[in-house]
Structure 1
Amino acid sequence: MSYTKAADLLRVAEMAMSRYDGIALADLTEEFDCDHRTAQRIMRAFETVFPQVEIRDDEDRRRRWHMPRHDPRWLQAQGVRDGELAALDMAIKRAERDAAPDEAQRLKTLRDRLLAAMPSSQARRTEADAEALLEAQGFASRPGPRVFPDMGTLGVLTEALRAPWSVTLNYLSPDGSASERLLEPYGLLLGIRRYLVARPVGGDGKMRRFRLDRIRDAKITGQSFSRDAGFDLQQFSARAFGSYHSDAEYGPVEWRFSPQAAPVARQFVFHPEQQLTEEEDGALTVRFHASGHMEMAWHLYQWGDQVEVIAPAALQSMIDAHRRSDFPALP
């Protein structure tokens, strides 16, 4: 058996052990980017190498393979690879950069637990190799301005989101006046500005966005609430171009990038539900539905006169007078 095939079988064993209901052939075709017949051959070899595997058919009559989890020697035999440890270290640095202290601490705890399960000599060697790999890959925080977060407020909101508990806070309006709010938190939106997505208690039942830099004196009430099972944070955030959302602005958006700018524009994901159209002259048209005209205008300014707003008309009027031809480079 080749080294590659052996490594593939070990990866299958990891998948079959980590997933509660085991794995199906469809999981293999996705993991290894192979066809159905190749996945069948992999599983036949897997059954030979790992005779302790449990095989059953689910309610849809699909065969599933599951590995018992009761053998602690499996983790010690596999160990933690330097690339995996470097990826975990990178995730910790990203969490710290993005002002997610709770996630950073939990990742550090997971890192320590994995290393503790390995023989000390192997753990030291893996750490040294991971450190070298991390240095070779490099890590740098994204340059540019960003709002410095209030770590105390973030900690309170993170704890409330996990439970979940309702929170009370004072929220500042643009003129500086404060009002007390009682909210049921549902998530955080990260960007140049950070927003809390929450439903006001006793309100109209709609979700609202609250800027984190305007939140003061956030406290957990200790009162739990039942999450709305039908609420999808990803779909909710997709209604905005950036972090800001307005029902009045929500609608179709259409931008046309010039043939000169099209190669650069193709590298961007402007919106998770965008549709791209290649024009005959080499231009690129981008269409999606969203709100947040001001954040769109901030972004489009970087493209100078190499982008034209087709819709909406309100956004077109915002940027037409500010399209410049003297920018030496595109974003």
Structure 2
Amino acid sequence: MSFRKAADLLRLAEIAGARHGGVSLDEIEETFGVDRRTAQRMTRALEDTFRGVRTRTDEARRKYWKLDAGEARMVFAQGLREAELTALEMSIRRAERDGAARDAEALARLRDRMLAAMPGPHARRVEADAEALLEAQGFASRPGPRVRVRPDLLGVIAEALKAPQRLTIAYAGARDAAPRARRVEPYGLLLGTRRYLVACEAGGDGRPRHFRLDRIASARLEPEVFARDPGFDLAAHAARAFGSYHDAREYGEVVWRFAPEAAAVAREFVFHPDQEMTEAADGSLTVRFHASGHLEMAWHLYQWGDAVEVLAPEALRGLVAGHRRGDFPALP
């Protein structure tokens, strides 16, 4: 067996041991990027290598492979790898950078517990390798512009989202002279140039509204819980905007055409999760999607100078007119 196949088999054993219901062929295909026959060979190798593999079939006749606890503990005893510790450290630093103090503390505790369970020499080697990877990637040296958000505010919102519980927020809208109290039912957070709390007003019409976190003066957790609308999908809701700002009046088809000299670069971008790209005979690239948020689109399009043209909507085309420079020395 090759090193790559052995590593994949160990990873499959980790997944089969960690997931309560086991792992299916579809999940193996998706995780390892293999076809059905290769996934089947991997499950046979799993059964041949580990005696504690059990299988079950669900109502849809999908088969799952589960590694029992005893053998799973042996697999997990190998501890953290440097790439995994690096990912943990990067997540901690992202949380600290974004003001999510509770998330940073929880991840740090997880990291420390896992390192403490490893033999000393192994733990020191993994820590040294992970530190080298972090320095090479330069994560700490890329702060980037962001709006400050108080960690205590994020902590209260996180607690409300778990239950879920209602919140009373002191919020200053664009037309408010001072913050006023609003009782809301939180559904999630949108992270972008600015951050928004997605919530419905308690006793209101049930439509989700957006509250800018930098305009929330305070937040108080209320004792009463509420039932979220089971039909609400945060990812689908977020996809209705280009960034974090939503405006139902702007929602519609967006069409951009990138010049041939910018097409190769633009092709590497995911401008929107539902985008469609088509290439023309002249080498230009057309991108289509449906969203709102013209101002955030204009901010992004400015970076491309005159290498991009807005074909639709007309309102966005007018917004960027006069700002398409041709003297930028590089593309985004």
Under TM normalisation by the shorter chain, which class is it?
A: over 0.9
- Alignment-derived partner of residue 178 in structure 1: 179
- Distance in 2 between residues matched to 1:276 and 1:287, nearest whole Å: 7
Any residues of structure 2 matched to 1:71-82 within 5 Å, and which?
Answer: 73-74=73-74, 77-82=77-82
Deviates more, 1:67-76 or 1:208-217: 67-76
Q: What is the SS of the residue equivalent to 2:139?
A: coil
In structure 2, what is the equivalent of residue 279 of structure 1? Answer: 280
Map 1:1-331; keep pairs closer than 5 Å: 1-70=1-70, 73-74=73-74, 77-140=77-140, 142=142, 144-175=144-175, 176-331=177-332
Provide closer, same or farther for how the CA distance between residues 134 and 142 of structure 1 changes in structure 2, counting only shifts above 3 A: closer
CA shift for structure 1 position 141: 5.2
Evaluate the alpha carbon distance shift between residue 49 and residue 206 of structure 1 in structure 2; reply closer, same or farther with a 3 A threshold.
same
Q: Alpha-carbon deviation of 1:143?
A: 5.1
Q: Are residues 58 and 289 of structure 1, via their aligned partners in 2, closer, same or farther at CA, if it must alter by over 3 Å?
A: same
For the structure 1 residues 298 and 97, does the alpha-carbon distance in structure 2 shift closer, same or farther, using more than 3 Å as the test? same
Give the Cα separation in 2 of the matches to 1:142 and 1:285. Answer: 31
Q: Match for 2:130: what amino acid?
A: A
Instruction: Indicate if the aligned counterparts of 2:13 and 2:75 stay in contact, CA closer than 8 A.
Output: no
For this pair of structures, how many residues does the alignment match? 331
Question: Displacement of 1:288 after TM fit?
Answer: 0.6
Shift of 1:139: 1.4
Q: Residue 75 of structure 1 contacts residue 117 of structure 1 at CA under 8 Å; is this kept in 2?
A: no
Give the aligned CA root-mean-square deviation in angstroms.
1.9
Contact map agreement 1:76 1:117 (CA 8 A) in 2 = no
How far apart are 1:172 and its partner, in Å?
A: 0.9
Q: For residue 184 of structure 1, report the CA deviation from its aligned partner.
A: 0.5
Q: Distance in 2 between matches of 1:181 and 1:319?
A: 36
Which runs of 5 or more structure 2 residues have no equivalent in the other structure?
Answer: none
TM-score, normalised on structure 1? 0.93
Letter in 1 for 2:207: K
Which SS does the other structure have where 1:305 is aligned? helix
Question: Which secondary structure state, in structure 2, belongs to the residue aligned with residue 180 of structure 1?
Answer: strand
Q: 1:198 to 1:49 in 2, by over 3 A?
A: same
Misfit runs of 4+, over 6 Å = none
Q: Secondary structure at the match of 2:77?
A: helix
- Secondary structure class of the residue paired with 2:34: coil
C-alpha deviations, 1:82-125, integer Å up to 9, x for none?
22111211111122222222221211111112122223333233
- Contact kept, 8 Å, 2:257 with 2:285, in 1: the verdict is yes
Percent identity between the aligned chains?
60
Q: For the residues of structure 2 that align with 1:130 and 1:145, how far apart are their CA atoms?
A: 26
**Is contact 2:93-2:140 (8 Å) kept?**
no
Label 1:124 to 1:75 Cα distance change in 2 as closer, same or farther (>3 A).
Answer: farther
